[in-house]
Amino acid sequence: MLVRRASDDGAAVLTLDSPANRNALSARLVGELRAALEEAGADPAVRFVVLGHTGPAFCSGADLSGDPPLDPREFVRLLRTVVELPKPVVAVVDGAVRAGGLGLVGACDIVVAGEAAASFAFTEARLGLAPAVVSLTLLPRLDPRAVARYYLTGEVFGAREAVRVGLATVVDGESGPVLAGLRAASPQGLAASKALTTEGVRAGFARDAERLVALSAELFASDEARERIAAWRAMTDHRLARGAATRRRLLDAAVACLAELGWSGSTVSVVAERAGVSRGALQHHYPTREDLFTSAVEHVAERQSAAVRSLAGADVACVVRAIVDLYTGPVFRAALHLWVAATTEPRLRPRVVQLEARIGREAHRMAVELLGADESVPGVREVVQGLLDMARGLGLASLLTPDAGRRERVVERWAGIVGGALGGAG
């Protein structure tokens, strides 16, 4: 999934999760985001939507290497969905926003910009393009002189300037009263008030959308734009490959530090030194400590899960042993340190709660698939969950007093239990 979904005290939390291409607007990401927004809009338990991101970029604009490429009309549909949603959408931007990503930010009702890491730039003119479709959400909201300057020059500007020109609402340290106000408002009041504030933007969609889509298509098809995009793509492919390698080193180093040193000893500087990169390079990829360590645990856990999935078709004992191994290695130890830290770190807690839920669901789904378990049969779901609980228990027990012999006896016994339960179910 490129868009993660969670909930938090009346808010639907949607997270753009395609850091490998800087959350670029691919056809798949746009489709997933629009579906998630529509689902949140129809959910009576949701009062407002928070749109965030993983990685160093909120959104880098259109995915110029996309296959299939993004249809600009689908991007218009996404922007329209944000604007017409009967619930406020709050963008939480703690990284780079470029080109089409600014249109997405402009569609949101409230924008919280991270003062340390948020940056914005209209890069279209440098590629022989223009901020065409994004103007639907930006021109009605932004200061006209600022629009002329930044559309034409492609200059990068930060959070405070974004607030000044009308692109952002507040910087991150000032967002508390804003979110509290949304939670205190009534659903009807929010819907009616939003309709008033977006009236001009919605009128612009009806009047200008087709014309701006045609302009965008014309510019993209021009020889000048094709030449400049090809040069940009060659440069970007190299940079992305180098960045991906750096991120892998950082994530592996972060997990190793957590497992060995715990949360208090795993500072950003320590991880950067172990990975062989500068602190600034680390913070370019992961602006906050919370970003780094939650991403690290998830990344390595997913890599290990992929290895376990390769056991499809193996016997029950082999699968049980592999699942236990997931909970008795350094990743489990690192995750445990992160879980404990989250109990006393307010900024870390919501990230870890979401991460734990995702990893837990994925572990259960993987166990069901590998074991060929039919959970519609009474008792089978409980056996699978019991297996996972047993694996966690062995992982905890092995932290202080590892006992390979005892572990092997328990694994053999559970393999028999699971095999018997599944055989009986069949």
The Cα–Cα gap between 168 and 83 comes to 16
Tokens of 142: 């932004």
Q: Give the helix ranges, DSSP H, for 125-158.
A: 135-138, 144-153
Please tell me the predicted confidence (pLDDT) of residue 68. 65
- Positive or negative, the CA dihedral 340, 341, 342, 343 is positive
CATH class of 3-221: alpha beta
How does pLDDT run across 256-297, given as a tens digit for each residue?
A: 999 999 999 999 999 999 999 999 989 888 888 988 998 888
Tokens of 52: 């965030």
Number of CB atoms found within 10 A of residue 280's CB: 8
Catalytic residue among 32, 124, 290, 298: 124
The answer to whether residues 49 and 89 touch, using CB atoms and an 8 Å cutoff, is yes
Q: Which H/E stretch holds residue 15?
A: strand 11-16
Enumerate residue ranges in the chain where pLDDT < 50.
426
How does pLDDT run across 356-398, given as a tens digit for each residue?
A: 877 888 888 888 888 988 888 888 899 999 999 999 898 888 8
Number of CB atoms found within 10 A of residue 309's CB: 12
- Does pTM surpass 0.85? no
The Cα–Cα gap between 330 and 94 comes to 30
331 by DSSP, 3-state: which? helix
> In Å, what is the CA distance from 279 to each residue of 145, 159, 266, 378?
37, 22, 13, 53
Task: Please tell me the CATH superfamily of domain 246-425, with its number.
Answer: Tetracycline Repressor, domain 2 (1.10.357.10)
**Burial label, 113 (beta-carbon count in 10 A; 0-12, 13-18, 19+):** buried
The string of DSSP codes covering 17-47 is --GGGTT-B-HHHHHHHHHHHHHHHH-TT--
User: Do the first three CATH levels of 3-221 and 246-425 match, i.e. the same topology?
Assistant: no
The answer to whether residues 133 and 76 touch, using CB atoms and an 8 Å cutoff, is yes
Confirm whether 290 is a catalytic residue: no
The type of residue at 104 is: L
For the chain, domain boundaries: 3-221, 246-425
